[in-house]
Amino acid sequence: MTESLPLSLPAIEVKDLSFAWASGKTVLDNCSLSVPRGEFWMLLGTNGSGKSTLLRLIAGLLAPQVGSIDIHGGLGIVFQNPDTQLVMPTVGADVAFGLVAEKLTPSQVRHRVTEALSAVNLVDLIRRPIYALSGGQKQRVAIAGAIARQIDVILFDEPTALLDPDAQLDLVAQVRELVKSRGLTALWVTHRLEELDYCDGAFLLEHGKLVDRGHPERMRQRLMKEIES
């Protein structure tokens, strides 16, 4: 973890960000947001509001055409479908795969993998084949991969979309616990109102514009009005 950064420094800073596809369709228009270090924030909006595009820009998967993005600390991302990012045959091997570039010793790798899987309550499944996991367990393996790399910021692109209702709330509760217990920062894309019970604050996107930010309950009420209108 990056302990030398000032606590007042935001983990994510987005300034005056705009993005349009090659067809000319504008997806984001002059968006700015700041996520405090050590907090769990959510990015809300109805389908087509631009929230997943904004997350991909923050992750570096797309390049902004206007504006700037600053990430203070190491960055990881968990996608909606974990099968797109789990590449090795077993749980332990997949978490270890992300450590290859660090050129660690075998004992260091084992320690990192065990510690990361313990953080998401999956250490007993370290030898379990990926195909034998539930959807929620796969998402937790993806989170463990980020923890093993000792990142500071995790982005979540609707990670509960493919899970059943009980697993959805279990995952969001566990992410909140990880954020608070490990000093991580998380930005979580969702349109599920019940998930707002677990975050510190939320941003609301409408038609590519950031129209509000603040307390989760206020964001819930505003999004409900938008959905009903």
Taking Cα atoms as reference points, which of 207, 195, 202 lies closest to residue 219?
A: 202
Q: Which of 109, 128, 151 is the last residue of a domain?
A: 151
55 DSSP assignment: H
In a domain? residue 134: yes
Q: Are the beta carbons of 222 and 212 closer than 8 angstroms?
A: yes
The CATH number of the domain holding residue 211 is 3.40.50.300
Range(s) of the domain holding residue 37: 9-74+154-229
Gap between the Cα atoms of 127 and 7, Å rounded: 38
Verify that 96 and 158 share a domain, yes or no.
no
Verify that 22 and 51 share a domain, yes or no.
yes
Gap between the Cα atoms of 42 and 203, Å rounded: 6
In a domain? residue 24: yes
Verify that 69 and 174 share a domain, yes or no.
yes
Taking Cα atoms as reference points, which of 111, 118, 42, 33 lies closest to residue 69?
A: 33
Verify that 229 and 164 share a domain, yes or no.
yes
* Three-state secondary-structure class, residue 81: coil
Taking Cα atoms as reference points, which of 11, 141, 148 lies closest to residue 79?
A: 141
User: What is the chain's alpha carbon radius of gyration, rounded to the nearest angstrom?
Assistant: 18
Verify that 160 and 225 share a domain, yes or no.
yes
Q: Which of 131, 151, 171 is the last residue of a domain?
A: 151
Residue 229: the pLDDT is: 67
Question: Per the structure block, which two tokens stand in for 35?
Answer: 């996520």
Taking Cα atoms as reference points, which of 149, 103, 139, 140 lies closest to residue 121?
A: 140
Residue 224: the pLDDT is: 80
- Please state the domain count of the chain: 2
Gap between the Cα atoms of 167 and 160, Å rounded: 8
In a domain? residue 80: no
Verify that 28 and 51 share a domain, yes or no.
yes
State the helix-helix crossing angle for 135-148 and 106-119, rounded to 10 degrees: 130
Q: Which of 151, 169, 192 is the last residue of a domain?
A: 151
Verify that 127 and 16 share a domain, yes or no.
no
In a domain? residue 217: yes
In a domain? residue 215: yes
In DSSP terms, which residues pair with 214 in a beta bridge? Answer: 202
- pLDDT digit of tens for each residue in the chain (229 aa)? 434 445 557 999 999 999 999 888 899 999 999 999 999 999 998 888 899 999 999 999 999 899 999 999 899 999 999 999 999 999 999 999 999 989 899 999 999 999 999 999 999 999 999 999 999 999 999 999 999 999 999 999 999 988 988 899 999 999 999 999 999 999 999 988 899 999 999 999 999 999 999 998 888 888 787 777 6
In a domain? residue 3: no
Q: What global pTM score does this model have?
A: 0.90
